[in-house]
Amino acid sequence: MEHLFDQDWEIMSAGGATGEAFFARYHEQKLFLKRNSSPFIAVLSAEGIVPRLKWTKRLENGDVITAQHWLNGRELKATEMISVRVAKLLNKIHSSKPLTSMLQRLGKEPYEAALMLTEVETILDTDLILLKPVRDAITFLQEHIDEIETEDYAVCHGDVNHNNWLLSDQDELFLIDWDGAMLADPAVDIGMLLYWYIPEADWEEWMGQYGQSLTDEFRLRMKWYVVCQALIMLQWHKDKSRLHEVTKWMNFLQRCFQT
């Protein structure tokens, strides 16, 4: 990475699980660098969803490096997820034809409910399946699978955790970390956001700010996808022996059936 710059630039790891992200700094110039980022990042930048893309360079070994402006700012707090700006930006993402076209050109197929259910049934190990809340959740998914299909697939982020929302010092809001982008039912993103952050009494108002009414059919779709994602996260954290996270997701799974 260092050979892209002269010796006066300071290159630092940006952390993360992949080790592919870096910060570069020279006096007042600051860049966020990523190795082999998807071409999708260029469209996200053009749409104003992520900080502006400054340049892209292909290295001799075939790696592609992207550089974005490094913005001073902060992550959103959990309590700020109820904001109108969050709802409107998520609607902009789900409604964007350029984003959808780019994912299709990259070969992304819709992540249908049946595929997600198959993934859940395949990855869950015996220890989790023996737990009654998990068995009840699987039964719920299987019983309602025929009610979940939709033709309105859109670009979904897949992890709308408040840590992925960046508010810059210039009061610009971005949704970052798009490695899990998919073509899916918008209920995938909306459901997790509402269940995690928004009191149920405020769901209708939030959906109005998003630009859609909260029907019983959409409620079911949200719950179905949220239960799927909770089971996937349960197994993921169990595989990594993160028992505290397993407990958290188990509690979340059980809360899903209280709404």
Q: What fold, for 75-256?
A: Aminoglycoside 3'-phosphotransferase; Chain: A, domain 2 (3.90.1200)
Q: Which residue has the higher pLDDT, 78 or 149?
A: 78
The residue from 8, 136, 159, 169 that is catalytic is 159
pLDDT tens per residue across span 206-240: 999 999 999 999 999 999 999 999 999 999 999 99
**4/176 Cα distance (integer angstroms):** 24
pLDDT tens profile 157-199? 999 999 999 999 999 999 998 988 999 999 999 999 999 999 9
Q: Tokens for 95, please give them.
A: 């409604």
In the residue annotation, 159 being an active-site residue is answered as: yes
Assess whether pLDDT exceeds 60 at residue 51: yes
The full DSSP string for 34-98 is: EET--THHHHHHHTTSSSPEEEEEE-TTS-EEEEEE---EEEPPGGGGGSHHHHHHHHHHHH-HH
Could you report the per-residue pLDDT of 60-77, keeping only the tens digit for each? 777 777 787 777 889 999
Comparing 177 with 136, the larger pLDDT belongs to 136
At the topology level, CATH places domain 2-70 in Phosphorylase Kinase; domain 1 (3.30.200)
Report whether 20 contacts 10 (CB < 8 A): no
Q: Where are the domains of the chain?
A: 2-70, 75-256
More confident residue, 151 or 12: 151
